[in-house]
């Protein structure tokens, strides 16, 4: 190990220790387990800083936090999944003996022997660990892929296709009372006739050009190419707008973490 | 059969789910709800596969002494400790030898890993003995210490304070900090867009700046900027989103149909 | 004779109504006389043309009522403030409600105390058996109208209403359960500001509810499904016969081959990120097809491939896909089991790990395909900082801007789905792209027709596309 690395490590441990002591002391009046609590808050702050250190470059602290996070979160979701889905949802439906073993209330009224089938399919899935009969694991996969493909087919057909087509039927002439009336009332007011009509025209042609951009089997040349180009411009403007829209939300997340460091850990702000 | 049966199953279940939409009858709803519940249950079994993969990759990394293998100990420690916490719980107010138990358990795991990784026979033997001793100690504590107990049969392990603490003081801080990193990344991404000198990037940046400055009262013509950004979000944005959504819809339904009909087979392995 | 029957029925209803109102106001039933109680508001005209029928296109357990509003609703005396919907129920529903509440209590005892004592379980079983017996008798009891039952309030609706859907539960143990294939009777009372002054309608019934086997409201969807299916099959057949299909170049896809070549030259791996989707997401399925092509090329070029996954089922499928690709390339011997691995099912832990891989293994190319959420920018920016060539494709609109900014090539929405067909250049897959284009042309034509229809005021055209759920 390099000397600087050792120094940084030692420094980090010393700072951690000092922080632990100080934090514990500050917590004596609020909790009985102030030493443990002090450690927990210091450790949380340490991990926060470990992750922030990634902004500088990859380093042992980040690696430590990353590997710890991976292990802990995998176990966390496994435990939660086991207790909520297998024990909470499945067992009370299939077996009274197992319900008694896991001490979950057995629902005699919702007993359903068909629930043995997903268990069977789940076990087939586990068989992929075997080289000989691993191919059987494709059956449950086929079940999942098949059902969800059928489900998504209809869902997207309705929500992303039919409903969107009908939503594009916008009136291009809003409140039309002749060309003279239109020009005499021309204004840039957001509630005015001109802006309302312009918006509908932009929506209509925007959708059209956007769709043209997604044509794959026709060369984008001539008028078609022009429309496709306008299409991609509108897409870019949209992406920009949505990018700008997200910025504020992201900054508020950072503010949240900084508040944790300065308030909960260092108690510098109240 | 090995190769074709999965596609037949995909067709049957896919067609069922597709046609089910047009059948409002109770019986069709019943099967539909059933199928959706099944996928969740199968998913949990798959999680076991996932954990096994994580375990195997980490162990192999240690065994082969691949770069950064030391950190795999951290992953394994986190994994095992969290699982242990999820299935054990304190009985009274005191922890007894619980902390010693899980620490010895971890050391035992480390020693077992060393036995697998070590090439030197002498040291291998030494680690073997150490792991046996640690294992004996861990087992002894779990038998004789009554201040805590295993909860394989109730979910009370999830109420274990250490399980909760690991969630609150390890998972949450890292998770929220990772999320907070986005604030920096969004800035560097904006800078990247700023540097790219082409029409597309300029349009994107222009729209982003316009929308970003909608709440900024100090810029000249703030009122018009706010109005323009609202118009941008409500009109061109809506048009483009609609075009994209329709494209995605078509892509999804075409792909789903190809999957159901067995035309698209790339997702299923062979052999 | 028939007239006599009607008088009897109406008289009976008036008696019932009188009894009900009298009971509400605390007046003994035998002295119930609406006119003597309230002289201020005259009884309103009843609703007319009351019809009750099974609610169409549903799973049953529901009746729709339609009527013409009272002559005093918004006109005449203008005295109607709303309507009360009544249904006739046999008295045994009270016993059923009692049993239900007992079952709930026993359940609460089991859940609350986490007790699984035999006595409680036996009790719940006995209660359920009793309930089932009553349930079996319910249809017969309904058929016994008007004997052995009474009118019960279902709901109140404001004045001006002319339809009401009595939506029952399909759960036998739920409170508002309406049995299918059972004779039901309904009545609608016109209400006035004075709670005792109301006029009942004639009784309609018997009417039965039941589930349908085809939802006629979804005919437009069915037509679209058939048209689109035929279109896809037609072009697939055409492509099979050897018809050449042109597909315009798509930047991100062209780049894949170059990127693999670059990785080989640099001796660095290729990172393929499948995102947070599960196999339920069609985007992930498309990503698998692209993975298959990438893996095949990788196998041919003898480059390393790293596929960290978020979902264990996705991991299983990806392993199969990569393995098959290596077999196809004739390089089964070089396939590494651990090139596809599971990280964790936690969004940011997955990101942390993938970011780590990007900075440590320094892949020459990062490919992101599938479903991505907030992590898109974290991944893409880290990859960009690490100097990798980046190709992305997602159908999550909110994440596209981040990929566009931070990646060298981005497949926008449908391009992701097109990519899976395009990469393989398999005619049958390309055939479906042509079908998709025809569908888009149809959208354009429909939109133009829709606009014209809107201008001309042909509402039937636009309404055809408003599919109800």
Distance CA C287, CA C416 (A): 8
Cis peptide before C93 (omega within 30 of 0): no
Neighbours of chain C (3+ CB pairs under 8 A): A, B
B256, A237: Cβ pair inside 8 Å?
no
DSSP single-letter state for residue C31:
G
Q: How far is CA C197 from CA C68, C150, C352, in A?
A: 19, 20, 71
Read off the pLDDT band of A1 (50, 70, 90). Answer: low
Closest CA to C23 of C208, C172, C152: C152
Residue C80 is encoded by which pair of tokens? Answer: 């109607």
Nearest CA in chain B to A158: B249
Residue C60 buriedness (CB in 10 A; 0-12 / 13-18 / 19+):
buried
Closest CA to A48 of C146, C445, C197, B179: B179
Which residues does chain A have within 8 Å of residue B163's beta carbon, measured at their own beta carbons?
Answer: 79
Distance from CA of C469 to the nearest CA of A (A): 9
Helix (H) or strand (E) holding C189: strand C184-192
> Which are the contacts of C390, defined by CB distance < 8 A and separation ≥ 6?
C365, C366, C367, C368, C380, C383, C384, C406, C407, C408, C409
Distance from CA of A223 to the nearest CA of B (A): 18
Of B47, B79, B208, the CB nearest to A243: B208
Number of other CB atoms surrounding residue C48 within 10 Å = 12
Helix (H) or strand (E) holding A254: helix A222-259
Instruction: Report yes or no on B270 lying in a domain.
Output: no
Residue B34 is encoded by which pair of tokens? Answer: 């059933």
CB-based contact A150:B35 (threshold 8 Å) = no
CB-based contact C313:C324 (threshold 8 Å) = no
Q: Are residues C14 and C158 in the same domain?
A: yes
Read off the pLDDT band of A182 (50, 70, 90). Answer: low
Q: Are residues B239 and B123 in the same domain?
A: no
Instruction: Report yes or no on B162 lying in a domain.
Output: yes
Q: Are residues B83 and B190 in the same domain?
A: no
Which residues does chain B have within 8 Å of residue C412's beta carbon, measured at their own beta carbons?
Answer: 244
Distance CA C177, CA C191 (A): 26
B261 touches chain A (CB under 8 A): no
Q: Which ranges constitute the DSSP H helices of chain B?
A: 5-20, 26-64, 69-86, 98-117, 121-144, 161-166, 172-195, 199-212, 222-234, 236-261
Residue A227 is encoded by which pair of tokens? Answer: 């429309």
Place of tokens 């929220």: B176
Chain A and chain C share a number of CB contacts under 8 A equal to 183
Q: Are residues C348 and C298 in the same domain?
A: yes
Q: Are residues B116 and B220 in the same domain?
A: no
CATH code of the domain in which C110 resides: 2.60.40.10
Of C60, C317, C405, the CB nearest to B267: C317
Distance CA C263, CA C362 (A): 10
Distance CA C171, CA B10 (A): 31
Where a domain ends, among B114, B143, B175? Answer: B175
Number of other CB atoms surrounding residue B94 within 10 Å = 10
Q: Are residues C274 and C199 in the same domain?
A: no
Distance from CA of A5 to the nearest CA of B (A): 15
Strand-pairing partners, residue C52, are C65
Residue C74 buriedness (CB in 10 A; 0-12 / 13-18 / 19+):
exposed
Ranges assigned E (strand) in C268-420: 270-275, 305-309, 340-342, 365-371, 389-394, 409-412
Instruction: Report yes or no on B135 lying in a domain.
Output: yes
Instruction: Report yes or no on B18 lying in a domain.
Output: yes
Q: Are residues B38 and B146 in the same domain?
A: yes
pLDDT score recorded for residue A128: 84
Instruction: Report yes or no on B240 lying in a domain.
Output: yes
Helix (H) or strand (E) holding C10: helix C2-25
Number of domains in chain C: 3
Q: What is the mean pLDDT of residues A64-71?
A: 94
CB-based contact A125:A140 (threshold 8 Å) = yes
Residue C438 buriedness (CB in 10 A; 0-12 / 13-18 / 19+):
middle
Distance CA C304, CA C335 (A): 9
> Which are the contacts of B154, defined by CB distance < 8 A and separation ≥ 6?
A102, A103
Which residues does chain C have within 8 Å of residue B258's beta carbon, measured at their own beta carbons?
Answer: 232, 429, 432
Q: Are residues C346 and C270 in the same domain?
A: yes
Which residues does chain B have within 8 Å of residue C317's beta carbon, measured at their own beta carbons?
Answer: 267-269
Which residues does chain A have within 8 Å of residue B68's beta carbon, measured at their own beta carbons?
Answer: 63
Q: Summarize pLDDT for B50-67 with one digit per residue, the tens.
A: 999 999 999 999 988 888
Residue B222 is encoded by which pair of tokens? Answer: 């703030």
CB-based contact A210:A234 (threshold 8 Å) = yes
Strand-pair category, B88-90 with C365-371? unpaired
Residue in B256, B258, B266 to test binding to A, most A beta-carbons within 10 Å:
B256
C211, B25: Cβ pair inside 8 Å?
yes
Residue numbers of the domain that contains C436: 216-239+431-465
Distance CA B35, CA A223 (A): 48
Q: Are residues B23 and B59 in the same domain?
A: yes
CB-based contact C80:C41 (threshold 8 Å) = no
pLDDT score recorded for residue C5: 46
Q: What is the mean pLDDT of residues A210-224?
A: 88
Distance CA C278, CA A168 (A): 31
Q: Are residues C104 and C144 in the same domain?
A: yes
CB-based contact C464:A235 (threshold 8 Å) = no
Q: Per-residue b/e over C258-284, b at no fewer than 16 CB within 10 Å?
A: ebbebbbeeebbbbbbbbbbbbbbbbb
Strand-pair category, C184-192 with C198-200? antiparallel
Number of domains in chain B: 2
Which residues does chain A have within 8 Å of residue B269's beta carbon, measured at their own beta carbons?
Answer: 138
B57 touches chain A (CB under 8 A): no
Distance CA A81, CA A87 (A): 9
Instruction: Report yes or no on B268 lying in a domain.
Output: no
Q: Are residues C7 and C50 in the same domain?
A: yes
pLDDT score recorded for residue C376: 93
Instruction: Report yes or no on B266 lying in a domain.
Output: no
Q: What are phi and psi of C185, to 5 degrees?
A: -130, 140
pLDDT score recorded for residue C73: 85
Which residues does chain A have within 8 Å of residue C407's beta carbon, measured at their own beta carbons?
Answer: none
Which residues does chain B have within 8 Å of residue C328's beta carbon, measured at their own beta carbons?
Answer: 270
Distance CA A133, CA A125 (A): 10
Place of tokens 């450690």: A39
Place of tokens 């931070």: C406
Nearest CA in chain C to B178: C348
Distance CA A211, CA C447 (A): 11
Read off the pLDDT band of B145 (50, 70, 90). Answer: confident
3-state secondary structure of B88: strand
B54, C338: Cβ pair inside 8 Å?
no
What is the radius of gyration, based on Cα positions, of chain B? 28
pLDDT score recorded for residue B171: 92
B21, C221: Cβ pair inside 8 Å?
yes
pLDDT score recorded for residue C15: 39
pLDDT score recorded for residue A178: 66
Closest CA to C286 of C396, C141, C166: C396
Neighbours of chain A (3+ CB pairs under 8 A): B, C
Distance CA A62, CA C358 (A): 13
Closest CA to C407 of C435, C441, C382: C382
Q: Are residues B119 and B240 in the same domain?
A: no
Q: Are residues C161 and C15 in the same domain?
A: yes
Nearest CA in chain C to B202: C405
B69 touches chain A (CB under 8 A): no
Closest CA to A114 of C340, C237, B38: B38
Q: Are residues C91 and C135 in the same domain?
A: yes
Of A24-38, A90-104, C54-68, C230-244, where does mean pLDDT reach its minimum?
A90-104
Distance CA C130, CA C101 (A): 13
Closest CA to B18 of A156, A151, C217, C280: A151
pLDDT score recorded for residue A109: 62
Where a domain ends, among B120, B148, B175? Answer: B175
Mean pLDDT by 10 residues, chain C (469 residues): 46 43 41 48 86 89 90 83 90 85 78 59 79 85 84 89 88 82 90 84 88 87 89 87 82 82 90 92 90 90 92 90 90 88 92 93 93 93 92 92 91 88 76 88 85 76 59
| Torsion of Cα atoms, B163 then B169 then B170 then B172, to 10° | 100
Of B178, B233, B236, the CB nearest to A245: B233
Segment 124-153 of chain B within 8 Å of chain A by CB: 153
Read off the pLDDT band of A110 (50, 70, 90). Answer: low
Place of tokens 């596609």: B7
Distance CA C418, CA C251 (A): 12
Where a domain ends, among B175, B192, B211? Answer: B175
A210, B155: Cβ pair inside 8 Å?
no
pLDDT score recorded for residue A256: 87
C315 touches chain B (CB under 8 A): yes
Residue in C381, C412, C416, C439 to test binding to B, most B beta-carbons within 10 Å:
C381
Distance CA A256, CA B181 (A): 11
Q: Per-residue b/e over A186-214, b at no fewer than 16 CB within 10 Å?
A: eeeeeeebebbbebbbbbbbbbbbbbbbb
Q: What are phi and psi of C267, to 5 degrees?
A: 70, 30
Which residues does chain B have within 8 Å of residue A146's beta carbon, measured at their own beta carbons?
Answer: 9-14, 17, 259-260
> Which are the contacts of B195, defined by CB distance < 8 A and separation ≥ 6?
none
Q: Are residues B168 and B198 in the same domain?
A: no
Strand-pair category, C389-394 with C409-412? parallel
Q: Summarize pLDDT for A120-166 with one digit per residue, the tens.
A: 888 998 888 887 888 888 888 899 889 989 988 988 888 888 888 77
Q: Are residues C89 and C19 in the same domain?
A: yes
Distance CA C403, CA C400 (A): 5
Neighbours of chain B (3+ CB pairs under 8 A): A, C
The sign of the CA dihedral C21, C23, C26, C28 is: positive
B25, C432: Cβ pair inside 8 Å?
no
Q: Are residues C304 and C381 in the same domain?
A: yes
Which residues does chain C have within 8 Å of residue B255's beta carbon, measured at their own beta carbons?
Answer: 282, 285-286, 417, 420
B266, C420: Cβ pair inside 8 Å?
yes
C282, B251: Cβ pair inside 8 Å?
yes
pLDDT score recorded for residue B152: 74
Residue numbers of the domain that contains B211: 184-261
Read off the pLDDT band of B74 (50, 70, 90). Answer: very high
Q: What is the mean pLDDT of residues B176-203?
A: 86
pLDDT score recorded for residue C4: 44
How far from chain centre, in Å, is Cα B218? 43
Distance CA C324, CA C320 (A): 6
Q: Are residues C118 and C162 in the same domain?
A: yes
Distance CA C373, CA C398 (A): 8
Q: Are residues C306 and C357 in the same domain?
A: yes
Q: Are residues B99 and B140 in the same domain?
A: yes
Sheet holding C62-68, edge to edge: C48-54, C62-68, C163-167
A52 touches chain C (CB under 8 A): no
Distance CA C458, CA C452 (A): 9
């Amino acid at each position: 190990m390099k000397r600087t690395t050792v120094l940084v490590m030692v420094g980090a441990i010393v700072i951690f220790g000092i922080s632990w002591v100080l934090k514990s002391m500050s917590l004596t009046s609020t909790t009985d387990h102030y030493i443990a609590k002090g450690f927990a808050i210091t450790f949380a702050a340490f991990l926060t800083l470990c992750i922030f250190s990634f902004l500088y470059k990859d380093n042992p602290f980040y690696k430590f936090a990353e590997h710890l996070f991976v292990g802990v979160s995998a176990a966390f979701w496994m435990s939660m999944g086991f207790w909520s889905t297998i024990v909470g949802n499945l067992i009370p439906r299939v077996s009274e003996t197992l319900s008694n073993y896991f001490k979950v209330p057995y629902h005699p009224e919702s007993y359903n022997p068909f629930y043995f089938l997903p268990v069977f399919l789940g076990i087939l899935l586990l068989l992929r660990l075997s080289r000989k009969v691993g191919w059987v694991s494709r059956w449950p996969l086929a079940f999942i892929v098949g059902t969800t493909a059928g489900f998504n087919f209809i869902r997207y057909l309705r929500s992303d296709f039919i409903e969107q087509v009908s939503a594009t039927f916008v009136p291009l002439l809003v409140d039309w009372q002749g060309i003279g009336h239109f020009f005499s009332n021309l204004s840039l007011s957001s509630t005015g006739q001109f802006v309302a009509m312009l918006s509908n025209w932009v929506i209509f042609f925007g959708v059209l050009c956007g769709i043209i951009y997604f044509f794959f089997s026709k060369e984008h040349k001539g008028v078609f190419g022009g429309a496709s180009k306008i299409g991609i411009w509108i897409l870019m403007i949209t992406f920009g707008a949505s990018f700008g829209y997200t910025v504020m939300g992201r900054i508020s997340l950072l503010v949240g973490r900084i508040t944790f460091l300065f308030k909960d850990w260092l108690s510098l702000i109240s | 059969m090995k190769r074709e049966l999965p596609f037949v199953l995909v067709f049957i279940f896919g067609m069922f789910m597709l046609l089910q939409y047009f059948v409002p009858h109770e019986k069709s709803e019943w099967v539909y709800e059933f199928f959706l519940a099944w996928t969740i249950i199968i998913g949990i079994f798959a999680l076991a596969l996932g954990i096994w993969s994580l375990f195997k990759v980490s162990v192999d990394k240690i065994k082969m002494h691949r770069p950064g293998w030391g950190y795999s100990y951290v992953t394994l420690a986190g994994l095992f400790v969290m699982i242990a916490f999820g299935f054990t719980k304190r009985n009274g107010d005191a922890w007894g030898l619980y902390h010693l138990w899980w620490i010895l358990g971890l050391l035992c795991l480390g020693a077992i890993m060393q036995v697998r990784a070590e090439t030197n026979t002498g040291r291998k033997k030494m680690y073997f003995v150490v792991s046996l001793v640690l294992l004996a100690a861990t087992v002894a504590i779990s038998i004789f210490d009554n201040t805590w107990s295993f909860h394989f049969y109730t979910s009370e392990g999830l109420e274990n304070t250490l399980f909760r603490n690991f969630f609150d003081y390890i998972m949450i801080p890292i998770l929220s900090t990772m999320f907070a990193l986005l604030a920096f990344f969004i800035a560097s991404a904006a800078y990247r867009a700023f540097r790219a000198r082409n029409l597309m990037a300029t349009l994107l940046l222009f729209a982003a700046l316009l929308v970003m400055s909608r709440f900024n009262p100090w810029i000249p013509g703030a009122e018009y900027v706010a109005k323009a950004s609202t118009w941008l979000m409500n009109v061109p944005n809506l048009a483009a989103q609609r075009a994209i959504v329709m494209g995605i819809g078509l892509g999804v339904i075409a792909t789903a149909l190809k999957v159901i009909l067995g035309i698209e087979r790339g997702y299923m392995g062979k052999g | 004779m028939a007239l006599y029957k009607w008088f009897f029925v109406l008289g009976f209803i008036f008696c019932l109504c009188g009894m009900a109102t009298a009971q509400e106001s605390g007046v003994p039933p035998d002295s119930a006389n609406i006119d003597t109680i309230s002289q201020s508001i005259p009884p309103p005209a009843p609703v007319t043309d009351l019809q009750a029928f099974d609610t169409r296109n549903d799973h049953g357990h529901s009746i729709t009522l339609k009527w013409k509003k009272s002559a005093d609703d918004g006109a005449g005396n203008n005295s109607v403030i709303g309507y009360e919907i009544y249904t006739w129920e046999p008295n045994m529903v009270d016993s059923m409600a009692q049993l239900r509440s007992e079952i709930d209590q026993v359940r609460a005892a089991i859940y609350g105390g986490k007790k699984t004592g035999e006595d409680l379980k036996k009790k719940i079983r006995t209660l359920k058996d009793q309930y089932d017996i009553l349930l079996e008798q319910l249809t017969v009891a309904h058929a016994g109208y008007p004997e052995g039952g009474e009118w019960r309030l279902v709901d109140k609706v404001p004045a001006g209403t002319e339809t009401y859907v009595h939506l029952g539960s399909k759960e036998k143990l739920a409170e508002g359960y309406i049995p299918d294939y059972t004779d039901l009777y309904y009545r609608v009372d016109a209400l006035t500001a004075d709670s005792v002054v109301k006029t009942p309608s004639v009784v309609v019934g018997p009417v039965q509810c039941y589930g349908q086997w085809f939802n006629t409201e979804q005919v437009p969807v069915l037509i679209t499904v058939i048209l689109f299916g035929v279109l896809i099959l037609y072009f697939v057949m055409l492509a099979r016969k050897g018809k050449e299909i042109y597909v315009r170049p798509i930047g991100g896809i062209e780049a894949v081959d170059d990127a693999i070549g670059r990785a080989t030259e640099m001796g660095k791996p290729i990172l393929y990120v499948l995102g947070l989707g599960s196999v339920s997401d069609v985007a992930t399925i498309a990503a698998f097809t692209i993975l298959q092509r990438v893996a095949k090329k990788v196998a041919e070029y003898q480059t390393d491939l790293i596929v960290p996954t978020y979902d264990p089922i996705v991991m299983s499928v990806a392993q199969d896909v990569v393995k098959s690709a290596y077999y196809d390339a004739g390089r089964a011997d070089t396939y590494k089991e651990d090139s596809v691995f599971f990280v964790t099912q936690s969004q940011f832990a997955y990101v942390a790990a993938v970011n780590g891989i990007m900075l440590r293994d320094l892949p020459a190319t990062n490919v992101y395909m599938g479903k991505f959420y907030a992590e898109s920018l974290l991944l893409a920016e880290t990859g960009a900082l690490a100097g990798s060539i980046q190709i992305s494709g997602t159908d999550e609109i909110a994440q596209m801007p981040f990929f566009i900014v931070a990646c060298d090539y981005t497949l926008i929405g449908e391009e992701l789905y097109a990519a899976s067909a395009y990469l393989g250049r398999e005619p049958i897959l390309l055939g479906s792209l042509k079908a998709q284009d025809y569908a888009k042309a149809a959208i354009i034509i429909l939109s133009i027709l829709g606009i014209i229809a809107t201008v001309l005021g042909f509402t039937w055209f636009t309404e055809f596309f408003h599919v109800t759920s």
